[in-house]
Structure 1
Amino acid sequence: MTVTPHRHLASKHDLDSLNAELPIRHVATRAGALPSWPIFALIVGFPVWWALGAVPVMSPVLAVVMIFYLLNAKNLMMFPGIAPWFMFLLWVGATVIGVQGAGDLIGYGMRVSDLILAGVCMVYVSNAGFSLSKNRVVNYLVVIWLAMVVLGFLALLIPDVRLKTPVGMLLSESITSNELVRNLVMPPLAEVQQPWGAPEPFVRPAAPFPYANSWGAAFAVLVPVVLSRIATLTSRKRSILLGMVLVFSFIPAVATSNRGMFVGLMVALAYALMRHVGLGHWKVAVLTVIGTTTMTLVLVASGAVSGILGRQEFSDSTGGRMALYLKTWEQSLQAPLLGHGSPRIDPTIGVSLGSQGFLWTLMFCYGFVGLFLFLYFFVGAVIRTRRVSTMPDVWLHAALISGISLIPFYGLSVLQLSVLSIVFALLLRQRYVGTND
């Protein structure tokens, strides 16, 4: 069918009058003229930022860029469910009064910039209807997952390599002597650990993150996104290929020895299975059960599970974490409202309180009010987008569920926070604007 263009174009005044009466879905679509490249640079470009040692500056740079575009756009919408995040940010800003010393202030600024970027991404993606379709954004997320897997295998092959980045070479030794800064600007491919008594070192893939736990947290959040993409592929060959990559991705995933990662994955799979059954998606429910069962049997039979558990024989991370959590709780009670602003080293256990798990970071750094505001936003996000009904959207919603299940165990750095905020924005846009594949 051939579409003939109109001979008479409406005037600008007529168009403005019409837009004033458009429903929310059309207004949001017009505001979607925002360019896609900032989100592309954040997600697909993340390995490049990592290789340059520029991850610490990525958040403020991209946040400023997206804010610039948002301020110059028209008909922007603040969708219901996003405002609580900015309430949380206001509270986090007030907690700066508890920060002690220049070093802690720098760390505080880095964490806050990550939180700001996550909020800006929510507003940006939810309004970028034209340039950032759901399929395009999901493709971006699949690409960063693939990059993680490739770097994970590379870490297993050459675990002792540490990058010499342009940013790292510009900084003085007094700055890079800090372990966190060094791992950010001169990142290792893997954490190589050999606890006392261990017969051989444990090689735990970390790239493109400073630590293996960050790799595991990102993997747990992104696997449901990958399953969402598989559900939308029309080519059987591509579906099988991506499925095979997903299976092999568990080789570096298992090597990280991240038990919390498997908790997040199992929570996401259990939730998705329940939803698929409830929606009558029997085929995908059966495939989920078969795939999960098969993978579990393979992990057990291959010795992967015993290897993860065997690491605990030489490293009592569980007992150490429990002691740290108890100490963090006790110290948080001393500053219940505004918290301490940033993690602080405890000389009795030699670890920074508020550094092992995002829940504990929120509690210690931003007080119980900050923790409540974060949970209020996150739980609200899950509830507000719970009525998804398609197979791909159920898997995207499972990514949010996985993310919230991880916060007692792992920190959420810039990429994990950005992924969760972007997935939420996609589902929120789906609810209030409609399908935009």
Structure 2
Amino acid sequence: MSLQERVRLPATLTDRGDAALPAWPMYVLLAGFPVWWLLGAAPFAPMTVAAVMATLMVLRRRLDLVPGILPWFAFLLWAAAAAVSLPSAMSLVGFAQRYGNLLAVGIFMLYYINARETLNARKIIGGTLCVWATVVVLGLIATQAPEVRLSTPVGALLPPALTSNPLVHDLVFPRMAEIQRPWGAPEPYERPAAPFPYSNSWGVAFVVMTPVAIAALGTFRSTWGRAAILLLLAASVIPALATGNRGMLVGLCVAIAYVLVRMGCRGHLLRVAALGTVAGTAYFALVATGTLEQILGRQKYSDSTGGRFSLYAETLEATLKSPLLGYGAPRLEESIGVSLGTQGQIWMLMFSYGFVGLGLFAIFLLSGIFRTWHARGNTGLWLHSVPVAAAAIAAFYSFDVLQLTVVALTLAVLLRARPFSETLA
């Protein structure tokens, strides 16, 4: 029995399951992201594209799986069951939106795994690079025009009953920056957020996409293309520091340190020395210019760390009262005025879907990391650092559908490459 036959699990319904899945839906999802955002349709794009992909896979009438993908769908089944814990029929709307995004992420992975004839690692890296470039460019614009808010066609079409909701309003009339004025601060904090509603979301996106941008340096054949990536990498420091996002710095440090250690173990000492020199120079520049002190200084006026730990304790205590299925979705705790199940992916999963749901998600992420431990080449190492960094910041930050899509697709690339001996560069 060949390797391919051992790892492929076909579910053939007819004998006409050999048609190749087209690549264009993935291009629409990733390379088309800037257009979706400008239209105000970014919140609806993932489920729309996922519906198209699911239709194409059904018409193809054959589904191939690879080891490491099934825990995600076990997680989806458990999350669906958690709907019984919702407090009212109205809360089904928010649950459906969140669950639809999780289902879409699973469909994206399945589509990539089954589109071997048309999609490869380089195309996923290129598509993710388009999203990363959008994040960086909009972050730069936000540092210069923080108070600008975009008017979009979708926002104009939606009824006022929907756009009056603060979150919906921020999604369809996106702002460039999140402007915070904590009590006692000498001046407001203007933190880049676009193309997301919150600055923390910008930081999470930057963490999970920057390693992919670095990996793209090894896949681009064009000198001009590599130069453009290097220029954007240098320019991205400006909006990244402007966010004042400590967790983002932690995630980036984890990704870079991880790659350096793995490169050192593989004997690539010159590359380790070069990357270490760049990272060390950047650190000392942050300290010497006072930028790092400025980022950490936000704690003087906003005790976000202390507030988070208090919220974590409340969330854990509440989950212990409903440990299996959780509560279906985050809930406002009126005594503290904050929703439990926010402030971190781990806490959202635990509160919404119980300890079992959290465990299934952790199995997917951690088993995926271990299964793809031997990712080949420098490109493989940088891609592998994406789920590693995601695991490192999951306790502090929630993942929007786009960030989760990047993490899941990166794992799908690595999981598919292993059994089929695919190249990543």
TM norm structure 2: 0.93
CA contact (8 A) 1:363 1:371 kept: yes
| Equivalent-residue separation in structure 2 for 1:358 and 1:238 (angstroms) | 34
CA contact (8 A) 2:150 2:175 kept: yes
Instruction: State the shift of 1:103 in Å.
Output: 4.5
CA contact (8 A) 2:7 2:67 kept: no
Instruction: Name the SS for the 1:355 alignment partner.
Output: coil
Instruction: Tell me which amino acid in the other structure corresponds to 1:257.
Output: G
Matches within 5 A, 1:179-258: 179-235=166-222, 238-258=225-245
1:296-323: per-residue Cα shift (whole Å, max 9, x none)? 1122222221111111111111111111
CA contact (8 A) 2:7 2:419 kept: no
Instruction: Name the SS for the 1:56 alignment partner.
Output: coil
Instruction: Name the SS for the 1:191 alignment partner.
Output: strand
CA contact (8 A) 1:24 1:432 kept: no
Corresponding residue for residue 335 of structure 1: 322
Greater C-alpha Rg = 1
**1:57 is aligned to 2:44:** yes
**1:125 is aligned to 2:89:** no
User: Cα gap change, 1:46/1:234 in structure 2, threshold over 3 Å: closer, same or farther?
Assistant: closer
Residue 368 of structure 2: which of 381, 404, 408 is its match?
A: 381
**1:395 is aligned to 2:373:** no
CA contact (8 A) 1:32 1:129 kept: no
Instruction: Tell me which amino acid in the other structure corresponds to 2:330.
Output: P
Instruction: Name the SS for the 1:86 alignment partner.
Output: helix
Corresponding residue for residue 98 of structure 2: 111
Instruction: Tell me which amino acid in the other structure corresponds to 1:188.
Output: R
Instruction: State the shift of 1:110 in Å.
Output: 1.2
Once structures 1 and 2 are overlaid, which stretch shifts more, 156-165 or 378-387?
A: 156-165
| Equivalent-residue separation in structure 1 for 2:407 and 2:190 (angstroms) | 28
User: Cα gap change, 1:26/1:409 in structure 2, threshold over 3 Å: closer, same or farther?
Assistant: closer
Say how many residue pairs are matched: 417
Instruction: Tell me which amino acid in the other structure corresponds to 2:238.
Output: I
CA contact (8 A) 2:263 2:269 kept: yes
Unpaired runs of at least 5, structure 2: 10-16
Corresponding residue for residue 269 of structure 2: 282
**1:144 is aligned to 2:131:** yes
| Equivalent-residue separation in structure 1 for 2:376 and 2:120 (angstroms) | 18
CA contact (8 A) 1:50 1:209 kept: no
| Equivalent-residue separation in structure 2 for 1:151 and 1:31 (angstroms) | 42
CA contact (8 A) 2:71 2:360 kept: yes
User: Cα gap change, 1:106/1:351 in structure 2, threshold over 3 Å: closer, same or farther?
Assistant: same
Instruction: Tell me which amino acid in the other structure corresponds to 2:140.
Output: F
Corresponding residue for residue 345 of structure 1: 332
| Equivalent-residue separation in structure 1 for 2:19 and 2:302 (angstroms) | 50
**1:173 is aligned to 2:160:** yes
TM norm structure 1: 0.91
CA contact (8 A) 1:95 1:366 kept: yes
**1:412 is aligned to 2:399:** yes
Corresponding residue for residue 93 of structure 1: 80
1:65-109: per-residue Cα shift (whole Å, max 9, x none)? 011111122653111110110000000000011112354322111
**1:297 is aligned to 2:279:** no
Say what the alpha-carbon RMSD is for the aligned residues.
2.1
1:16-35: per-residue Cα shift (whole Å, max 9, x none)? xxxx989449989x968211
User: Cα gap change, 1:105/1:277 in structure 2, threshold over 3 Å: closer, same or farther?
Assistant: same
| Equivalent-residue separation in structure 2 for 1:193 and 1:47 (angstroms) | 26
| Equivalent-residue separation in structure 1 for 2:275 and 2:18 (angstroms) | 38
Instruction: State the shift of 1:50 in Å.
Output: 2.1
| Equivalent-residue separation in structure 1 for 2:373 and 2:294 (angstroms) | 37
Identity %: 45
**1:272 is aligned to 2:256:** no
| Equivalent-residue separation in structure 2 for 1:376 and 1:292 (angstroms) | 32
CA contact (8 A) 2:4 2:419 kept: no
User: Cα gap change, 1:310/1:21 in structure 2, threshold over 3 Å: closer, same or farther?
Assistant: closer
| Equivalent-residue separation in structure 2 for 1:132 and 1:256 (angstroms) | 34
Corresponding residue for residue 10 of structure 1: none
